[in-house]
Structure formats: C-alpha cells, structure tokens
Structure 1
Amino acid sequence: MKMHSRMFLLWSVCLVHVESLTVSDFYPFGVGHGDTTMAANDDGSSPNISISTKFPFFNHQHDKLIVSTNGAISFLTPVSQYTPDPFPLGGDRRLITPFWGDLNTRKGGNVRYRETTDPKILERASTEIRAYFPEFYSFYSAWVFIATWDDVAFYGCSSTGCLKRNTFQAVLITNGLHSFTIFNYANIDWTTGTASGGNADTGLGGKPAQVGFNAGDGKVYYVVNGSRTADIVNIHKMSNVRIPGKFVFRIDSSEIGGGGCNTEGNVIITPSSGPMLGGQHLTFSGPCIEEYTSFKVKFSNTRYTLRCEKDSPYSFYCITPMFDSTGNIQVDIILADESKTKPFIGNYTICKYLYQIMYEFLY
C-alpha cells in the first residue's frame, strides 16, 4: 500500500558544517505549555483536530488537521503509511512532512501538539516571517500550531538502535490570508525503520524519510534536497535560511516559496511601485547578504547609481531618486563582498500619481 506520482517544485538547500539547533531554540513545547501528548503508538495519528481559524495550504482553506506519529501533518485523511512514497501523491493526500518516516513511540519519545494565540508566540512567529520574507514587512500572525516529535525512536530498533533518536518540530503560522511553515531540527540520528529496509542497529539504509509538501492532486509538490536518500540524516545541518536545522516556507499558494536568500538571480523589491518624485524607502530581498557586503543599485532610466544600507542578513534598503519618466523599469543590483561581485535583477514601476500606487498596492 505504497504510492507514487509526478511534477515537482524543488528548493536547493545548503549543508553547513556547524552545530544544529538545540531544543532550546524550538518554539516552547510540552505539557507545561498546554500541549496534547499522543499515546505511545506505531503508525498512529491524532483524531481530527478542529482549529480555530482557516489555514490556507496549496490554495485550499482548512478548518481541521491531523498529526501523524510518522512525521507528517495532513488535512484530509490520516497518514498511517510508514514508508514514504515519492511526491507527488494523489488521492487528496494534502501533506506537510517535516520528517515522514517509520517512527515508533512505543520504543521511545513523544509526539505533542497545540494551537495557540498566545501573544508572545504570535509576536515571535511574526518577527521570524518578516525577517525571512522581507516583502511581508507588515505581516502579523493571528494563529500558530506547533507539533513536536520529541526524542522519537524508529520502528524495529534493536537495543542499540533504540538509543538513536530524532527531535524535530513543525510550526504552522497564518494571518488568515497567507500561511507559512517553520521546520526545526535538533538531533537527527536515524532515517529509516526496519519495515522500510533500514538497519535495526543504525536506523540507516533502505528507503529513508521524506521532507516536503504534497498538494494531493498527483501533480504539485515540493521536496527538500536529500529526501528519500541517505543524505536526509544531515537535515539538522541544512537550511534554506542560513541557520542550520531551520527551514522556512510560504505554503498558502500553488507554489511553495522558500524564505531566506539566494546567491544569484532575481530580487524582490518592496513596494514594487513608487512615485515619480522619488523619496520612497525600498526594501530589496532575495540575495544573501554577508557582514561586509556593499550594494549598488541602478534604475535603468536614470544616470544615478545608489548606495544602499544593510537591513538584515536577508535584505537591504535604498531611497529612490527623482525619475524623469514613468512605467516599468529594470533595476540592476551589484552586491560586492571582498573580491567577489554578484549581479541581480529586479523590476520596479514608476507612477505619476499617488492613486496609481494605491491601486497597485490594493489590487
């Protein structure tokens, strides 16, 4: 009863040779924080969990979800399958999988979850999303769901293998319109249960765990590099936001978007339009920004090259000059760090009147 399918979205991640997150870096979890703890089980799931707000995922709104012992959150049906088939999967299997593999909490560990609107948690989530997605500079979280697989063992582990444990967390965040997920990983010692071909002593080999998202239509999905390969044991050393053991994604639309930065390509300019008279504060996000990075920005219809300032490891800002024409223009950006320079390209719209800018912002 293992399934397949096709078409994908893939985000590359980097392997960083430093220590991963620790549990103290996770969102707070445990009985003392109001979590529900699932009974020890093998291939089990929570009941349907009614949630207090609609959660957007792959262009669908959901008012319930299900937490699986086997490292997944689903929205329509439980996940009892222990060997992860490659995404995409059909049959309305709409899945968020921080580590879909063959867990067995009868051999050790706990699965805990809760929804929360605690102001401190909402502020932390809002701050993280604004940092990793600078274009969402006004994002405020209204709801958070935290699921934690704490010190969990794998199916079929020997007395030696049962000492190997994984700890990871999925944090779902929404303001009702946009939604995001944070995956946090502390220790990852194993990838595979014995029913999936893994070794009882090491928890390695066979068909390893899968990390990603599945739309359930048999077409659209997203997988993190290393999924279903031996490399997934290193996911606590990987990241898409330059923090080993942390991944952040936007998940409300038909395409999964990774947070953080990239080393080449396009730039997101926020806001995307502004007045002909200039004087607008623009945030540029997309490129990875090092401590000593310098920035030069050239609008294609001006003779000026602007020098900009660093805002965060994921963004920098400039003030626009006065323009002598309106319309869509190309923006050329050069990032310089020590002896290396990196070109990026963005787009910006110059409007003559304020109502044009407001119309773009609203529609």
Structure 2
Amino acid sequence: MTETENIVVGISIGDLNGIGGEIVLKTFEDARILDFCTPVIFASFKVMTFYKTHFKSEINFNSIKDLDQIAAGKVNVFNCWNDPVKIEFGKEDLNIGAFAIKSLEAATKALKEGFVNVLVTAPINKHNIQSEAFKFPGHTDYLAQELEGESLMFMIHNGFRVGLLTDHVPVKDVASHITPKRIEQKINTVYESLKKDFKIQKPKIAVLGINPHTGDNGVIGHEDDVVLRPTLQKIKESGKLVYGPYAADSFFGSNNYKNFDAIIASYHDQGLIPFKTLSFGQGVNYTAGLNKVRTSPDHGTAYEIAGKGVADENSFKEAVYSAMQIFKNRTDYEELTANPLKKASRSERR
C-alpha cells in the first residue's frame, strides 16, 4: 500500500438502538475525510437508509454485497443481512444484540482477509450480545481470539496513553489476576506498541500501584511489595524505562502523568476514570498488541440520548483518525525493520 492510497476503514455498526448509527453518519458527513480513507460500514443498506432519513443526513451510500465492490471516495455499506430490523432507540433488545455481532463478525473477517486495513467499532451492549455462540465480555476479548498477538486495552488521546493490567475483572478479583507473568506481558505489549504504533524509540512507562498508597509498606496489603515492585525491578534491569509503582490517588492530579509516554493502571476504573476526565470526550480505545489495528470511541451505547440527534461524534471521529495514523506508523516501522538501509538513509538526510 502506498501513501497515496486511501486506507480502507471497516466499521462495525454496534448496537442499532444506541448512538452508533448517528455518530457514524456525523463522522462521514464531512466529505473531506474521504480524501484520506474509504469507509465500509458493516450493516445493511436498509438500516443505514433508516438512519439517514431519521437524522436528516445527506450522505449517499454505496451499497455492496461483495467486498470486491468497495469504491474509494464513497461511504460503502456492506450488507451483512437482509432481515428486517425493528429499531427502537434506547431499548435493550436481544435481537438487536444479534445484529451487532453479525456486523462485528463480518467486519473482523474482512479485516483478517485484507479487504479492510483497520477496524473501528461502534459501541455495543455487553449484555444483549451474549448467546451460546458468543460468550465474550466485549470487543477486546473477541478480537484477542480472532487476531494474533497479546491484546491490551490502551486508552489514547494525543500524547496521553493509559493501559491496563486487568480490564473487565471484578474488583474483588483484581489482585489475584496481577501476576509477574501478566505484568511482564502487559508492559512488553505497551512498550512494543509505543515503538511500532506511536514512533517512540525509548518509551518511558509509569505503573500505578495495586493498593492505596501502594500498600504503605504492608499496612494496606502486600501485593505491591511482594508482586509488583520485584517484577518492575526485573523489567527495568532488562533495559526498559519502567517506573513505579506510583500511588494512584495523586498521580494524575499532580500532572506527573505528563512525564511519561504511557501509564499502566492496575485495574479498569483506576485508569479509565482519570483518562476520561482528562480527555474531555476525545479519547479513543485502542486494542494494542494485535496483528491488526482496531479502535473504538471511549463511550458506550448512550441509550438515554439515542435517536435524539444530540450525540457527540468526536470520540468516534478520533477513533477513525487514530486507526489511520497507527496503521501508517506501523507500516513505516515494518518497512524500516525489513530494510535497515532505508532507516540509515533517512538519518543521513537529517
């Protein structure tokens, strides 16, 4: 793929009763984005036409039944189903969950087969997608099975990046999930992603403690002293710039996070609450560590405002832009790795 070619962005439509359709339409209503990417929405032409009418959009869709028919410069809709769909904004519906999975599976298949370059997923409802055939907590776990690599939830916004040692794990089980093996694996995934996906040659990574005040020398738990600190020391001795554990309560408020290329939180809310507070609805959820690029907005289905035309598309739009940039960065990295002479010639020109 050359720099002049559009990146083909596959889009899974998510929960049809949520705000996914609206934010997808709003993102691509500015036709200038089609100069940089070719979107392929995995849904049905009838569903997208319903959204277009409901939200009074002027987008013209290119309806396709075969991925060989993807047209650059157009908003393509790949028909994943012909079934009639009853859309009731704001309602949780098992049938709607099934359509969300059809879209996700078709988009993932297209990604694996190379018809699309990256995948951007609109929000799903983690409850109504469950079935005998689909038993995953969400997108990340499903994609970890379907794509090669070690997946990691990586929240990104400009130079602010937060990864997680544990993601969708009940708080009561967090400490038992944090093992030396997991710590090493997650830090290595973040480290490699910073190099390949964000072009940072010597990444600096901060790790937040498991317990309040990182355990206060065992007064509030022993996990930081027994598991986390020794493992971080071992990783640091290997040459990686890894620091911590830091007490999470003051880390963000003191602006210490600005001194690092990435922060790794011990559990979901420890990392995502400050991230979403500081990213002001512009954040992106990136699944790092896989052999393909997948991003999503940092919010859910927002049933309470679905269908009202007031959803903010900025996080989804940023997810599209981030996916394209990461794809370009990764492509450059792979080319330079395969051809060291090219890297040397670039250095000489500087």
TM over 0.5: no
State the TM-score, normalized to the length of structure 1: 0.25
Structure with bigger RCO (C-alpha 8 Å, 6+ apart): 2
Rg comparison, structure with higher value: 1
Q: Which protein is richer in helix relative to its size?
A: 2
Q: Which protein is richer in strand relative to its size?
A: 1
